Amino acid sequence: MKINGAWRLWLMAAVAFTMAGLCAAQTPDEGREETRWFVVDSLNAGLGEPPETIERVTPRELIRSFLKLTENEDLAAAAHALNLSELTPVEQRKRGGQLARQLAEVLKRGELLKVSDLPGRQDAAIEDPSGQHPQAGEPRRNLKLASLTAQGETYDIRLGRYRVGDQEPVWLVMPDSVSSVPLLYEEYGPLMFETYIPERLKASFGALKIWEWIAIPVFLLVVGLMGWWVYRLVGGLARWLPAGAPSIFTGRIKLPVALVVMSLVTQMLLDYVVSFSAVATSSLRVLLIVVLAWGAGTVALRFVDTLMLRLTRRLMGQIDDSKPKDERKLLTTLYALRRIIILITVTVVSIYVLSQIQLFETLGITLLASASVLTVLVGIAGQAVISNILSSFQLSLAKPIRIGDLVVFEGQWCYVEGIFYTFIRLRVWNDRRLIVPVTYFVSRPFENLSVKNAKEYRSLELILHLSADVQCLREKFLEYAQEEENVVEHHKLSCYVTGQTERAQTVVCYLMTSDPFAGWIAEMNVREKLMAFIRDHHPEWWPREVTVISERDVALGERSGQPSGHGGGAA
């Protein structure tokens, strides 16, 4: 029994060891064959055996040989790069070459395709030394070659890996992509003008064809002449319009309107008249989007600038706080709207350009690989600019200051003339301009004299002799102050003695003025008139120094019986 039990144990161990060996001999890929390729019964039975000129082992070899064969007009061989399983064998022989030619034209014109960027491995596994890509090292059986838009719909051209029986797996254009080729050819194929081009000019010369090297300069010249004509037309319209905001606005949009028209005309020509290779078309379309967005944004900015100019002129040409608060608030809002238009235009154009030149993928990988370094660099380099922009928007939204407000900043009277992205322009009282960074301005205390209203109490001070008649002076002050047009609320006019010494008294007069600057002028005028009145009618009111040259009080006059030689005087 013990022998039989041991024999059974040895037999079970041998079976387990054999099964483990078989499992170890089976590779992981063989256990996941459905993830490596599509298993089919046959491929393109109607085309016969593929020639040796077509290479289909890797995606890169497939597209490279496919483009070379179509360029050499070997369409029968190029058809073997397509999976024509949705067609009957007869249709495969009949339409295979035509579909290959159409697909080649679509790939050359539709999207800038870099063959060297395609996978060079048979399994098309993603190679990422950094290990950041989530699918790095995993085999793929299909991948996207291009994504194109036709009639408002997006179609992907994809490659798939197929295996028939025990044959070597090959890469082909997938059936769904083949079925969309005729529709894409209508969108990206040769247009009206190209039917008249001689065949000898359709040969490739570098990145472009021979006829494209000739047509592109002529094309740009025609578009440039169109833009020049629009520029002159808009300029003539500006001179024809009556003087005012419409003529100013029209005169300032000559260049952006010309660029917008050039962009739209170029786009129309590319869509309906002529289409170039993907290298030229992609560059032109990106440039057209940039020009169109810049032109439209500039027209919007000029419109806002014209509104601001018109409002400023309605404010009598000078931006100050004597004008209605609602108008100054509107002008501040227009400045904020101007900055928003600039920000939106720059952001949208930048995002589109980056997406067109396909920087997002590489930029994303770089950011993941060195996020901390880039974060530090961007934080240091853009800190001042970003903080100024955010502070500018904060001022526009919270409105602690408005265009036209009178502020006292670092001891100087200034009118706020403009609030821009990174700086504030202040007009000093002597008409100098003070340019202050936004962050510096908001980090310093300032006095806004226009936050409620522009009215301000002013006071003028006079130092007079003790013998001055304050009541007479008060009456003259009221008379002179009421004559000033910038003095308001006459019931608040007052004049009082606020201090005295053994020789003089201090008289202070108070008046309410319509705004600080006008109040300063009114104060100076009233002071000059009071000084002239005292000089002409009561010069004895001026304070004077008294020097005692005798023990006798000279104010009592000379007493009889006392010699004059012992008298004294005062100066």
Mean pLDDT, contiguous 10-residue spans, the chain (571 residues): 47 51 41 72 88 89 90 89 90 90 84 79 76 70 86 87 90 92 84 69 72 81 89 87 80 87 85 71 77 81 74 56 61 71 72 57 46 50 62 69 82 82 82 86 80 75 91 92 87 90 90 82 91 91 71 54 45 42
Which is it for the CA torsion 76, 77, 83, 85, positive or negative?
A: positive
* H helices present in 162-252, as ranges: 175-179, 181-188, 210-240, 245-252
For residue 162, CA distances in Å to 36, 249, 292, 319 come to 9, 64, 45, 75
- Give the per-residue pLDDT at 14: 54
Enumerate residues 6+ apart whose C-beta is below 8 A from 429: 412, 413, 414, 517
DSSP secondary structure code for residue 315 in this structure: T
- Give the per-residue pLDDT at 307: 74
Inter-residue long-range contacts of 142-148, CB under 8 Å, 24+ positions, other chains counted: 142/174, 143/59, 143/119, 145/59, 145/63, 145/107, 145/113, 145/118, 145/173, 145/177, 146/107, 146/110, 146/111, 146/113, 147/111, 148/106, 148/110, 148/111, 148/184, 148/187, 148/188
- Beta partners for residue 437, in sequence order: 423
- Give the per-residue pLDDT at 173: 92
- Give the per-residue pLDDT at 269: 80
